[in-house]
């Protein structure tokens, strides 16, 4: 800790020499047709052999290298369109998270393909597996970048290949929505105990009766292998995808929901086992995936709701105050690569440029695509939240929960797609935001009831939620249906 504090003045001074990033232009796309045009692509992400750089595992321990491979990470992509000529791509990477700089590399590699194919937007998200290689750089040894450049190049290559395969494999067919309660499969690690108890499924059924695609939104960290794990894996979403493919032939896309506050799956096996080795948690991962898949596959077909072939996508950029000094240091050291701008009212003098999006499918389904791990109460509680000022005091102004904003713009069923197009860390309610008084963002703190405020140390700052929600209101408005048309 002391070494960070010695470096701090020098690093802050050096940041004055770093240029500002440019804010991307908003993207808005809408289409409507007679049927859905959907395709799926997938590519394994190769682990570099004889790499000069170590292979650090992400999510728990710093400087811990992988000790084996349970299953390889993958890049999965879905092409979504309502006609043969245009569409968008949704790309899911089995990893802990992706900065906007990595997302921009993927988009850049796809730019010529997008121009030729009629792809109007590319959204890239992370499944948030804690058993993948470090893709953010945060889990290397002290003050060192934990990313392996060869692996990151492989990741980008696989994402591009999956995207192109999704376009090549597109078929016509129907899309349905359904959900099922994931009973006893989640718990909230921080009060208040609020989370979405459902698995939400969008299922594509091809006209030719062949293999379909299932896109599943579920609010739980992919960390059923737990904290001592050193085996590379997709965690329980990989188990789910493998079982679904084996039993139905369908392809599978896992999308993490509102998982802030450490929404997790519980240990499903006998808690009375005195010694829990790697095999115990490997079995726990398998069993967790099996239980969730069984719940998903027992959804009665007659309960699936048809989704009309209309599509709207809107994306906008926004700037959040970079109050987290630890993030600033990691940015200076080349670990975090998100663009920044100067901002006089942030703790560090900088803002981070990020982005969010809304994806509206049919008349009654809207997915909010968020750049981080949002606390569920911000989404689902029917109330107003207090805004915060630059001095971390509450201002007396309020902003509504995301469900209230979604209702205002007739979003219908609101789905959450977290860790999309960027990773801002945890997104917390300002009125439950607490940092250490002398070492904010470096040391954790407990409140008067003993609640651990760990998540604040991995957040951009107290004002992130209110700024993000203003941007989400903008994209909700841009995709709102008017006079029966998709978007405006």
Q: Provide the whole-model pTM.
A: 0.93
Question: How many domains in the chain?
Answer: 2
For residue 9, pLDDT over 60 is answered with no
Q: CA-to-CA distance for 182 and 204, rounded, in angstroms?
A: 21
State whether 258 and 401 are in the same domain: no
Per-residue pLDDT tens over the stretch 60-73? 889 999 999 999 99
State whether 124 and 199 are in the same domain: yes
**pLDDT value at residue 226:** 93
Q: CA-to-CA distance for 35 and 310, rounded, in angstroms?
A: 9
For residue 8, pLDDT over 80 is answered with no
State whether 18 and 145 are in the same domain: no
Q: How far is CA 395 from CA 161, 387, 430, 447, in A?
A: 48, 6, 10, 21
State whether 240 and 98 are in the same domain: yes
Q: Which of 307, 322, 341 is the last residue of a domain?
A: 307
For residue 463, pLDDT over 80 is answered with yes
| pLDDT band (50, 70, 90) for residue 275 | low
**pLDDT value at residue 19:** 32
**pLDDT value at residue 17:** 29
State whether 191 and 321 are in the same domain: no
State whether 11 and 37 are in the same domain: no
Q: Which of 281, 307, 333 is the last residue of a domain?
A: 307
- List the one residue out of 355, 401, 377, 366 whose CA is nearest residue 476: 366
Whether 93 is in a domain gets the answer yes
Domain of 457 in residue numbering reads as 2-24+312-479
- List the one residue out of 325, 359, 289, 287 whose CA is nearest residue 125: 359
State whether 51 and 18 are in the same domain: no
Range 412-437 burial, b when 16+ CB lie within 10 A, else e: bebbbbbbbbbbbbbbbbbebbbbee
For residue 20, pLDDT over 90 is answered with no
**pLDDT value at residue 274:** 65
Q: Which of 269, 292, 307 is the last residue of a domain?
A: 307
- Among 5-19, 87-101, 473-487, name the most confident range: 87-101
Whether 421 is in a domain gets the answer yes
State whether 291 and 332 are in the same domain: no
Per-residue pLDDT tens over the stretch 226-253? 999 999 999 999 999 999 999 999 999 9
Whether 484 is in a domain gets the answer no
Helices (H), 16-148: 100-109, 111-117
State whether 155 and 271 are in the same domain: yes
For residue 140, pLDDT over 90 is answered with yes
């Amino acid at each position: 800790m002391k070494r960070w504090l010695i470096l701090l003045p020098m690093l802050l001074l050096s940041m004055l020499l770093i240029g500002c990033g440019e804010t991307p232009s908003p993207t808005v796309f809408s289409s409507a047709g007679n049927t859905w045009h959907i395709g799926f692509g997938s590519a394994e992400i190769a682990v570099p052999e004889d790499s000069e750089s170590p292979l650090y595992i992400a999510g728990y321990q710093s400087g811990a290298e992988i000790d084996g491979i349970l299953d390889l990470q993958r890049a999965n992509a879905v092409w979504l369109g309502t006609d043969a000529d245009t569409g968008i791509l949704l790309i899911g990477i089995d990893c802990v998270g992706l900065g906007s700089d990595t997302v921009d590399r993927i988009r850049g590699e796809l730019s010529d393909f997008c121009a030729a194919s009629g792809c109007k937007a590319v959204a890239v998200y992370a499944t948030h597996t804690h058993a993948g290689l470090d893709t953010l750089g945060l889990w290397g040894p002290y003050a060192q970048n934990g990313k392996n450049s060869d692996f990151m190049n492989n990741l980008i290559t696989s994402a591009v290949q999956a995207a192109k395969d999704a376009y090549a494999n597109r078929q016509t067919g129907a899309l349905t929505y359904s959900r099922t309660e994931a009973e006893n499969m989640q718990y909230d690690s921080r009060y208040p105990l609020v989370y979405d108890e459902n698995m939400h499924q969008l299922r594509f059924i091809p006209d030719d009766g062949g293999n379909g695609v299932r896109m599943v939104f579920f609010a739980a960290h992919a960390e059923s292998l737990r904290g001592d794990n050193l085996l590379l894996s997709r965690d329980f979403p990989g188990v789910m995808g493998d079982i679904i493919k084996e039993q139905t032939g369908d392809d599978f896309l896992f999308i993490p929901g509102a998982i802030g506050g450490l929404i997790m799956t519980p240990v499903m096996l006998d808690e009375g086992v005195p010694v829990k080795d790697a095999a115990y948690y490997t079995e726990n991962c398998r069993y967790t995936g099996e239980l969730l898949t069984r719940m998903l596959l027992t959804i009665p077909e007659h309960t699936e709701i048809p989704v009309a072939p209309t599509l709207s996508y809107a994306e906008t950029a926004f700037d959040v105050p970079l109050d987290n000094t630890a993030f600033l240091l990691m940015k200076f050291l080349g670990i975090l690569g998100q663009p920044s701008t100067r901002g006089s009212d942030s703790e560090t003098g900088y803002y981070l440029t990020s982005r969010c999006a809304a994806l509206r499918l049919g008349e009654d389904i809207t997915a909010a695509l968020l750049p981080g791990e949002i606390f569920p109460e911000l989404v689902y509680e029917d109330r107003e939240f207090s805004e915060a000022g630059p001095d971390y005091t509450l201002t007396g102004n309020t902003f509504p929960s995301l469900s209230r904003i979604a209702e205002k713009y007739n979003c219908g069923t609101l789905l959450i797609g977290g860790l999309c197009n960027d990773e801002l860390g945890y997104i917390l309610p300002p009125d439950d935001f607490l940092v250490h008084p002398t070492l904010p963002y470096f040391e954790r703190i407990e409140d008067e009831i003993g609640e651990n405020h760990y998540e604040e140390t991995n957040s951009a700052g107290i004002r992130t939620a209110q700024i993000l929600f203003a941007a989400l209101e903008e994209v909700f408005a841009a995709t709102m249906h008017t006079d029966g048309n998709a978007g405006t």
